[in-house]
């Protein structure tokens, strides 16, 4: 195995030091280290973070390899500073058996660019009718601990209760896409002033908040772990705040786009802004930012949702919801929060690693720690060019925007997956 000496780097915002990476771990830290055999990386002006961990990634394989593969999504993740991603189950076939989650896990190992941790479906075929083989997925080589029907809500409260009870045995967690389907029939965007003006059917905030309120009560009742996907409204934040104050075992995520973009973008009728849950208002954004800073929302998760051109570049009503996220998430975090490195490490690495049970990730670089880390240049501002993204899809809402921060290098188990801002393989 090769060794790397990163010189003069700031670890999570602290005073610059050297980091020696050898045999897959951080071997030494300190000023003026020497290691003649090591490849030297100049870390001057760079910040080292524990490798980012994404709790919510759509990799599209198996089934929609034209939109993304485990390999292309892994490369996008590494370029975005990630060392681990949790792959959502809404593939084709659905990841609802030990066989499919093992296939995704194996493809992740073969690509070797990030650790791919499959998420298992809660119900067979995401149909919301009967529980999938949760135990078999947990016992498989993929060791699934997060289960989600993401894309759909587990709307039936009895099924949700049984799923929460079932995963308690192995400290699993149910990640809920909170959307009461009866309240969002035909919905095209956030229900509010803009939807009224445009005459588009609205997706009301209460459709999300009602499910979160129900689910925190269910999680409390059975003493199990709930994770809420892509929280998007100020009202949801209040429900979560109260539940956490009561000691309910609930965690929550917010996406970069819900921290930055409003429903006003729908006025362009550009389907790149169509997403589930929909972009909300400036008031919601302010509440989500405050909640993330306080810890009422635990993590930033990308909900990276690649879609092929024909599914996205069409009339708004027919376009699939979802947007890319992996290659821009850190830049959006910097845009929104500035160089609050400890907050960024906490919300994008340490806490998501803990929620996913990925015990070799989310640990700040220090002697003896697995060398899963990323180097960020916060001084660079870059223009986002969709054609330059590693994702197979192009549906970024940040096209031609200038954003702060660039990932210079990413290391997975001591080997670079990204160097000089470029994927190594």
Ligand X SMILES: NC(=O)N[C@@H](CC(=O)O)C(=O)O
Q: Which does 347 bind (CB under 5 to 8 A by kind): Zn ion, ligand X, none?
A: none
- List the x/- string, 176-215, binding to ligand X by CB under 6 A: -x--------------------------------------
DSSP string, 166-200: HHGGGT-EEEE----GGGSTT--EESSHHHHHHTP
307 is in an annotated binding site: yes
Q: Which of 149, 303, 327, 377 binds ligand X (CB under 6 A)?
A: 303
Chain residues 162-181 in contact with ligand X, contact rule CB under 6 A: 177
Kindly provide the b/e burial profile for residues 360-391, where b requires at least 16 CB atoms within 10 angstroms of the residue's own CB.
Answer: bbbbbbeeebbbbbbbbbbeeebebeeeebbb
Element of type H or E holding 75: helix 70-79
* Alpha-carbon distance values, 295 to 58, 146, 177, 219, 372 (Å): 25, 21, 20, 19, 24
Which one is catalytic: 303, 342, 359, 364?
303
Q: How far apart are CA 50 and CA 120, in angstroms?
A: 26
Q: Which of 54, 61, 71, 150 binds ligand X (CB under 6 A)?
A: 150
149 binds Zn ion (CB under 5 A): no
Please say whether the beta carbons of 8 and 337 come within 8 A: no
* Catalytic annotation present for 18: no
Q: How far apart are CA 138 and CA 168, in angstroms?
A: 12
Q: Which of 251, 276, 351, 372 binds ligand X (CB under 6 A)?
A: 276
Element of type H or E holding 379: strand 373-383
177 binds Zn ion (CB under 5 A): yes
* Alpha-carbon distance values, 171 to 230, 257, 354, 367 (Å): 22, 30, 12, 29
22 vs 307 by CB, closer to Zn ion: 307
Interface segment toward ligand X; rule CB under 6 A; list 32-40, 132-140, 314-322, 385-393: 314-322
Q: Enter the DSSP assignment of 323.
A: B
Chain residues 325-384 in contact with ligand X, contact rule CB under 6 A: none
Phi, psi dihedrals of residue 328, rounded to the nearest 5°: -125, -5
Q: In 3-state terms, what secondary structure has residue 378?
A: strand
Q: Which of 80, 120, 235, 322 binds ligand X (CB under 6 A)?
A: 322
CB of 170 to ligand X, least distance (A): 25
276 is in an annotated binding site: yes
Q: Which does 253 bind (CB under 5 to 8 A by kind): ligand X, Zn ion, none?
A: none
CB of 421 to ligand X, least distance (A): 28
Active site residues: 303
The site for ligand X (CB under 6 A) is made up of: 58, 90, 150-151, 177, 275-276, 303, 305, 320-322
The site for Zn ion (CB under 5 A) is made up of: 150, 177, 303
């Amino acid at each position: 195995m090769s060794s790397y000496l990163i010189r003069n780097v700031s670890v999570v915002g602290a005073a610059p030091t050297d980091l020696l990476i050898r045999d897959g771990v951080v071997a030494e830290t300190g000023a003026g280290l020497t290691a003649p055999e090591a490849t030297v990386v100049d870390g001057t002006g760079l910040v080292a973070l524990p490798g980012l961990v994404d709790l919510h990634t759509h990799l599209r394989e198996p089934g929609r390899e034209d939109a993304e593969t485990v390999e292309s999504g892994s490369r996008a993740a590494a370029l975005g500073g990630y060392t681990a991603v949790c792959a959502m189950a809404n593939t084709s076939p659905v990841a609802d058996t030990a066989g499919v989650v093992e296939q995704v896990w194996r493809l992740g190992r073969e690509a070797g660019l990030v650790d791919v941790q499959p998420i298992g479906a809660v119900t067979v075929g995401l149909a919301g009718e009967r529980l999938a083989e949760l135990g078999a997925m947990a016992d498989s080589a993929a060791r699934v601990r997060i289960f989600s029907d993401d894309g759909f809500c587990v709307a039936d409260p009895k099924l949700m209760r049984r799923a929460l009870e079932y995963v308690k045995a192995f400290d699993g967690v149910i990640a809920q896409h909170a959307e009461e389907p009866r309240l969002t029939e035909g919905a095209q965007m956030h229900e509010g002033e803009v939807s009224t003006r445009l005459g588009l059917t609205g997706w009301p905030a209460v459709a999300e908040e009602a499910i979160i309120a129900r689910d925190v009560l269910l999680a409390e009742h059975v003493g199990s772990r709930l994770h809420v996907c892509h929280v998007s409204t100020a009202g949801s934040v209040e429900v979560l705040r109260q539940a956490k104050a009561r000691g309910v075992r609930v965690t929550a995520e917010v996406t970069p786009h819900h921290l930055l973009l409003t429903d006003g973008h729908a006025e362009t009728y550009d389907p790149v802004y169509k997403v589930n849950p929909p972009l909300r208002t400036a008031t919601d954004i302010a509440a989500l930012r405050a909640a993330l800073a306080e810890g009422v929302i635990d993590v930033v998760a990308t909900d990276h949702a690649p879609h092929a051109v024909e599914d996205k570049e069409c009339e708004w009503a027919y376009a699939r919801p979802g947007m890319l996220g992996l290659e821009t998430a850190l830049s959006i975090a910097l845009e929104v929060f500035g160089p609050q490195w400890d907050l960024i490490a906490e919300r994008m690495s340490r806490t998501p690693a803990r929620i996913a049970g990925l015990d070799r990730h989310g640990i700040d670089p220090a002697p003896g720690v697995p060398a899963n880390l990323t180097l960020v240049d916060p001084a660079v501002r870059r223009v986002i060019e969709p054609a330059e993204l590693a994702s197979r899809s192009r549906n970024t809402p940040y096209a031609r925007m200038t954003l702060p921060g660039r990932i210079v290098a990413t290391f997975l188990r001591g080997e670079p997956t990204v160097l000089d801002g470029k994927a190594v393989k």
